[in-house]
Amino acid sequence: MVAYFQLQPSEAELQELADEYWQRSGDRERELEKAAFEAGEAIRKGEYTLANLEAIVRWKSECAVQYLITNSNGNIRKALAIAATPETSTGEAVKALLELQGIDIPLASAILTAIFPERYSVLDFRALEALGHARHDVHFYEEYLAFCKRLAESNIVKPQSNLPGAAPLRTLDRALWEWSRKYSG
């Protein structure tokens, strides 16, 4: 079965929504996002540490940190090494991260996005709502990611070069999230 996505906001609204997302975010949210993308860059450079992984997890789920810290340094290094290898498939990267305590598919997608913002997008309930959908598993994430990449590659949004994770996919994440925050209850 193939997932179906229906973009709820108009394409013309997406860039403005992404900008609104950042403007409406509080200082703490902005700092957490900046720290997450700095940690993602460090992971991309081979720094497979709990501290870097924790910065990303804290950005998306403060409560998951308590589970994350129960993982051994060896398991964290192994999972991040697989996830940060450019040749690793999406499925393999997600599955490696799911081996860690406290990591579910949405968090795995956030970790991958922080490491490779030009390649991945966050599987977030608000973004899914903006696409008319709410179900997720690994296969679903791969389909969601392909859909988001097609949107981002159509140049309807531009990288927000002054913000963390400066990539069209991250701009699209922000736009979809902001649309959901703005138009849903």
Residues 109-126 have pLDDT tens digits of: 999 999 999 999 999 888
Residues 2-33 have pLDDT tens digits of: 778 899 999 999 999 999 999 999 999 999 99
Residues 130-176 have pLDDT tens digits of: 988 766 678 888 988 999 999 999 999 999 999 999 999 999 999 99
pLDDT at 3: 74
Domain parsing of the chain, residue ranges: 11-183
pLDDT at 73: 97
pTM of the model: 0.80
Mapping DSSP onto H, E and C, the string for 109-164 reads HHHHHHHCCCCCCCCCHHHHHHCCCCCCCHHHHHHHHHHHHHHHHCCCCCCCCCCC
User: Sign of the C-alpha dihedral, residues 171, 6, 178, 38?
Assistant: negative
| 97: its two tokens | 């991260």
Residues 67-90 have pLDDT tens digits of: 999 999 999 999 999 999 999 999
Contacts of residue 94, defined as CB under 8 A and 6 or more positions apart, other chains included, come to: 105, 108, 109, 112, 138, 141
pLDDT exceeds cutoff 80 at 60? yes
Q: Which residue do the tokens 């998306």 mark?
A: 60
For residues 15, 84, 97, 4, the Cα torsion angle rounded to the nearest 10 degrees is 40
